Amino acid sequence: MPAAEQKKNALPAVGNKKKKEKVNPVFKPYDRGTLFCRGIWKRILKVMGTFAAFVFVSLIFGTAVGEGGIFLRLLINGSLILVLWYLVFNEGAGDGEMDVALGETVLGRREQGRSLPKEDADKAYCPARGFAVGLLAMLPFILVTAAYAFCAVKQVYTLQTLPSWVSGLSGVEEIGGALSYYNRQVTLGAVDILRIISRLISIPYVNIVTANDADRLLTLDRMIPLTILMPVLAYGVGYLTGPRRRAMIHGSIASNDRRRIRREKAARRRRARGPRELV
């Protein structure tokens, strides 16, 4: 047999792979649930736990470079903030996809004349649920930071401890009155407690600004509630991607089915031609 004909009739190499087929989303109808449902508190606690872990990690790693250069502080603390948004976004997307799948089940059973318990049917996808979960999870942090934002003032001085040799001059009439100011008892008030909690919650932003810049720190104190809203938006927007993520799963399944059908048809054609005779 000529070499050209052998090459034409030769089977394709096993290692040859065709271009990967593009997966198109396949949207399927689903039933809608209610805004609040049974089990929503588990998601609220999950988001709160994620944020609490973020604060803890930021307190360790972010504070370690608190006195470094602006580039290093911005890199470390900015990366921690982006990681938080990414994690919360993924949590919302996963929960949204799960709720869409449940909504498909609810609709399918209803069309078949069956039904799920109302408590389970209420858990189906609801677009506004993601923002509700995010807001309720971050509400305690928002309230604390907002309360301090309204009463925040610029910190312009701090009392220092007097050296021992200066303490002996407190009895001198000319300067004793001025030195007595340092003996005043400083009490920890409600505003101070709010400031400590608020800055702890927003520790990455404080590390970027640094505690040495009183003006920028005051601006940050008043803007902290807005920064706390970012995880709310991240979870809510992630939840809204649930229908598309579910559609991509259906599209991937359909694409795999098409490839399987093509392989089966090709196998049937090869069997129909019969074995080749080698000369």
Neighbours of 87 (CB within 10 A): 19
* Predicted pLDDT at 136: 95
With b for 16 or more beta-carbon neighbours within 10 A and e for fewer, the 119-133 pattern comes to: ebbbbbbbeebbbbb
* Predicted pLDDT at 66: 59
The answer to whether the beta carbons of residues 203 and 62 sit under 8 Å apart is yes
Q: Is the pTM of this model over 0.95?
A: no
- Collapsed DSSP state (helix, strand, coil) of residue 276: coil
The answer to whether the beta carbons of residues 185 and 203 sit under 8 Å apart is no
Neighbours of 246 (CB within 10 A): 24
* Predicted pLDDT at 184: 54
The answer to whether the beta carbons of residues 103 and 31 sit under 8 Å apart is yes
* Predicted pLDDT at 10: 45
DSSP 130-142: HHHHHHHHHHHHH
Q: Is 90 exposed, middle or buried (0-12, 13-18, 19+ CB in 10 A)?
A: middle
Structure tokens at 206: 């404080």
Rounded CA-CA distance 52/43 in Å is 14
* Predicted pLDDT at 215: 80
* Predicted pLDDT at 53: 92
Neighbours of 31 (CB within 10 A): 19
The answer to whether the beta carbons of residues 125 and 101 sit under 8 Å apart is no
DSSP 186-253: PP--HHHHHHHHHHHHTHHHHHHH-TT-HHHHHHHHHHHHHHHHHHHHHHHHHHHTHHHHHHHHHHHH
Rounded CA-CA distance 70/209 in Å is 9
- Collapsed DSSP state (helix, strand, coil) of residue 125: coil
The closest alpha carbon to 39, from 106, 85, 105, 98, belongs to 98
The domain spans of the chain are 27-273
Rounded CA-CA distance 255/21 in Å is 8
- Collapsed DSSP state (helix, strand, coil) of residue 2: coil
User: pLDDT in tens for each of the 279 residues of the chain?
Assistant: 444 444 444 444 444 445 566 777 788 888 888 888 888 999 999 999 999 999 998 888 766 665 667 788 888 888 999 999 999 999 999 999 999 999 888 888 888 878 778 888 888 899 999 999 999 999 999 999 999 888 877 766 555 554 554 445 444 544 445 555 555 555 667 887 888 888 888 888 888 887 667 788 888 888 889 989 999 999 999 999 999 999 888 888 877 767 777 787 777 777 777 665 544
**Taking the C-alpha atoms of 73, 79, 82 and 88 in order, what is their torsion angle to the nearest 10 degrees?**
-110
Neighbours of 256 (CB within 10 A): 12
